[in-house]
Structure 1
Amino acid sequence: MLCILVPMARQKDPAVRTLLVERAAHMLRVREPITLRSLVAGTGVSTMAVYTHFGNMDGMWMAVRQEGFTRLARRFAEVPVTTDPVADLTALVAAYLGNALEHPDLYRVMFDANFDLEDLKAADATLEHMVQAALRAQDAGRFHAGTTPLDLATQSWAVGHGVVSLVANGPLPRETLAHCPVLLEALFTRTGDEPGRCADSVARGWDPALAG
């Protein structure tokens, strides 16, 4: 009887995938040359693991960038929805900062347009958390109707991104994050919120633990 041996498909190991994603992100940040061999050097896995988990190097780069948004989405999902949408929007900005500081290597790659994303809709969905908080605040009369929730969410994201970029991968100390509440108050009051009420909401939503 003639026996034909069919090679078994290699099993994917989530731990190996995470290891390679995080190592690639770190190598990018410290500007180490990245090849298949340098990527797996010292990890205990073979170069075949890249093909098993990502298909090829392009697939790996897509996964590296996507992972940053995946972890951000997970962080946002942990932020509770309360009866104070302005506090909630502030808490989401704080969570954004915390995610960037916890995963500085992945954070840097998230916005590198040299690499595609595995799931663009999933990445866009992270902003939707802020859009919904801004919409609820607008419905509650906290913000002018002339400012769209998307605009306000984008501006809030930009405040957090601008500050944390200077801390996570930049020259400024963590104490710089303390400027964020003041910047958010300025943004929210310019958009129509009453100053005293805004200050109370921002103070309520700004959790230093969320911000790292």
Structure 2
Amino acid sequence: MVRTKDPAIRTLLIERAAQMLRAREPISLRSLVAGTGVSTMAVYTYFGGMDGLWQAVRQEGFTRLAARLATVPLTPDPVRDLAALGAAYTSNALANPDLYRVMFDAGFALEDPAAADEALHSLVRAIERAKDTGRFRPDVNAVALATQTWVIGHGLVSLVATGPLPRQALDHGAPILTALFTGCGDAPDRCRQSVELGWHPDFAPGTPQEHPSAPTTADP
């Protein structure tokens, strides 16, 4: 009789590997499973070996990021939504710091590179909506702007997650994004309001990232 794989064991080994990488601990089959209650055979059962484990660890980071971004509700204000996606990115990184560090280690291949691109695509879609509604200029390169937005979020959260800056430093994201989006054609006051409505990195997953008193519709 074939035993059913337990997804909890797969997750346990992925998170254990990420923690060990973060702590720069020597990783072997035995050290990986030490104290977990599972045998070394589990690495082969769930990943086909250590190479498969490293791929799964990196992919899991992007999988959780995509799931987190999917919780951001769309509103009639695409600039607000773009800022909210950036906030969700930083929240996910702080909630999964070990996996976040491994996500960008190109030394390990990804199981599904296309799935990892979804984070960038979600930003591109919001930017295209901003162009369609006249908030951004028609000539704005959506992929380039999405990349710039990602760079801002990644830079801030990396400095916070590794310790040099306190979490309050994430507040700098709102004025930086406002300047970036204003340069794309959005009206300064309207842009600032939209970004401030969306940029709340500490909100829990699935929570609408708006002030309680904020209007539900930012566009007339």
Give the TM-score normalised by structure 2: 0.90
Return the offset for 1:206.
Answer: 1.7
1:52 aligned onto 2:25: no
What is aligned with 1:29?
A: 22
Residue 120 (structure 2) aligned to one of 124, 127, 143: 127
**What is the number of residues matched between the two proteins?**
205
Return the offset for 1:208.
Answer: 4.3
Per-residue Cα deviation, 1:84-112 (whole angstroms, up to 9, x for no partner): 00000000000000000000000000000
Is residue 94–residue 211 contact of structure 1 (8 Å, CA) maintained in 2?
A: no
What is aligned with 1:103?
A: 96
Larger displacement relative to structure 2 (9-18 or 190-199): 9-18
What is aligned with 2:65?
A: 72
What is aligned with 1:113?
A: 106
What is aligned with 1:178?
A: 171
Counterparts of 1:165 and 1:63, CA distance in 2: 22
Return the offset for 1:209.
Answer: 3.2
Return the offset for 1:210.
Answer: 3.0
Is residue 58–residue 108 contact of structure 2 (8 Å, CA) maintained in 1?
A: yes
Cα distance change on mapping 1:10 and 1:34 into 2, 3 Å: farther
Larger displacement relative to structure 2 (166-175 or 153-162): 166-175
Per-residue Cα deviation, 1:16-71 (whole angstroms, up to 9, x for no partner): 00000001001001100000000000000000000000001000000000000000
| Stretches of 4+ aligned residues off by more than 6 angstroms | none
What is aligned with 1:5?
A: none
State the one-letter code of the partner of 1:91.
Answer: A
Counterparts of 1:115 and 1:211, CA distance in 2: 30
Residue 75 (structure 2) aligned to one of 78, 82, 91: 82
Alignment of 1:129-208 (within 5 A): 129-208=122-201
Aligned with 1:167: secondary structure? helix
* Larger of the two Rg values belongs to structure: 1
Counterparts of 2:154 and 2:204, CA distance in 1: 12
Aligned with 1:20: secondary structure? helix
Aligned with 1:45: secondary structure? coil
Is residue 170–residue 201 contact of structure 2 (8 Å, CA) maintained in 1?
A: no
Counterparts of 1:44 and 1:178, CA distance in 2: 42
Is residue 96–residue 211 contact of structure 1 (8 Å, CA) maintained in 2?
A: no
Counterparts of 1:183 and 1:200, CA distance in 2: 13
Give the TM-score normalised by structure 1: 0.93
Aligned with 2:65: secondary structure? helix
Counterparts of 1:31 and 1:75, CA distance in 2: 27
Counterparts of 1:170 and 1:9, CA distance in 2: 46
Is residue 57–residue 102 contact of structure 2 (8 Å, CA) maintained in 1?
A: yes
State the one-letter code of the partner of 1:108.
Answer: R
- Cα RMSD between the aligned structures? 1.3
Counterparts of 1:196 and 1:211, CA distance in 2: 27
1:20 aligned onto 2:13: yes
Is residue 59–residue 103 contact of structure 2 (8 Å, CA) maintained in 1?
A: yes
Return the offset for 1:10.
Answer: 4.5
